[in-house]
Amino acid sequence: MDGVASPWDFNCNLEVDLGSEENAHIVYTALAVDKELQPDKVKRHMSVSNGKLSVNFEAVEARFLRASFSAFVDVLTLTTKTIEEFGPKKE
């Protein structure tokens, strides 16, 4: 497919240090259940390594990338605040 442009022209990477492998897996598990609403327009790939959540977004248009990224960060913020509030207390 030489010379054919990819429809996934817009992309963004996000890496969040969650302080521990356990926290990173909790956040990953919580966020993995929410699939993209328009998978034909936005793709999201997540992975966990060394206590960090890495997320790659790809979209066919900038507006889909922005909407997906924004919604994801909202839920990510809620998830991390929940861990801070109800997770193991640090001494």
How do residues 50-81 score in pLDDT, each as one tens digit? Answer: 999 999 999 999 999 999 999 999 999 999 99
Q: What is the C-alpha separation between 72 and 69, in angstroms, rounded? A: 5
The reported pLDDT for the residue numbered 41 is 95
User: Residue 37 — pLDDT band, cuts 50, 70, 90?
Assistant: confident
Residues 6+ away with beta carbon under 8 Å from 60: 7, 8, 9, 10, 41, 42
The reported pLDDT for the residue numbered 36 is 87
pTM over 0.85: no
